Amino acid sequence: GLSGGSSGAGALHRKHSIAELSASPRLRAELADDGEDLPDTIAMHPDHLSIEAISDVMRAFGEGKLLDTASAHRILAGFLHLVAPGPCLVPVTLDSISETITVVGDLHGQYTDLQMIFRSYGLPSPTRKYLFNGDFVDRGPNGCEIMFTIYALKLLLPNAVFINRGNHEDQSLNERYGFEKEVITKYGPEIYGLVLDTFDALPLYHLIEKSTLVLHGGLPQLADVTLDEMSKIDRFTVFNQEPTTRAELIADGTLWSDPDDEIEGFDTNPRGAGVRFGIEVTHDFLSRNNLNNIIRSHELVSDGFVRSHDDMVVTVFSAS
């Protein structure tokens, strides 16, 4: 979701079947060029997860090791089984004064940034919740390691770890920005197919304490959008084609749009997807839905976060 980094790529949709990927001469040639031996592998089983086990895997990832393919398959299948039945808009509550939630913005395959965040704020726990706000893959070299770490943490702590889909959790962007090649190099095309299934299952929105909406991008260029209709989006099919229906336009806009303090209403977005939206759009949306503010990511900001639209919008970006 870097600013301007994905122009002209509005619709998220499947471009190739996994069988086609396996047979792709282009991809086979790229992988052959890589040539180096893959590193040692480690095991991780969804039924035997603990924070200590995940910490061990994180250390191994930091040393350049990979999961063995069976472990990768089990983590992805377990994550899919957990997340797929859930809603498109997930409510999050903080049940006591001691509970916190940290929203993590784009990580874009930079595993050292995830490690630094956990060193600074602590690993997730029942009272130390985390929400990863999409775009954890592409651009950087370690999208797989971030994905398997946060998926395993979600399996261990389903009520304390939350993950939104970003515009880069998508096959057409993964082909352009590196994650497709990364997964297939490390784990093969069948695992990549399962990864894409998990992306389709990711929710698009989280609602913290009924007052703060967390989404990846911003607001769509549509009148009178409500949380109720956002919650009813079929996230498994909504990105299968260029957006034309209201639900498709809402989903596309909320993954791609950006706030702008300099405009009123809406304006075109240099990305070639979504729109730029002004303060009145934000105010109207929050008032209509009885919300206090929006937390979003998607744009590179210098200090990791920035407030806009009279503090009604906070942008969080976590890749260094």
List, by residue number, the catalytic residues. Answer: 168
Q: How many CB atoms lie within 10 A of CB 262?
A: 8
DSSP 8-state assignment for residue 211: T
Q: CA angle 22-64-133, nearest 5°?
A: 75
Instruction: Note whether 291 and 215 are within 8 A (CB).
Output: no
Residues 6+ apart with CB under 8 A from 97: none
Identify whether the C-beta of residue 249 lies closer than 8 Å to the C-beta of residue 256. Answer: no
User: Under DSSP, is residue 307 helix (H, G, I), strand (E, B) or coil?
Assistant: strand
Q: Can you tell me whether residue 102 is helix, strand or coil?
A: strand
* 186 Cβ neighbours under 8 A, 6+ residues apart: 38, 66, 144
Helix, coil or strand: residue 132: strand
Length of the chain: 320
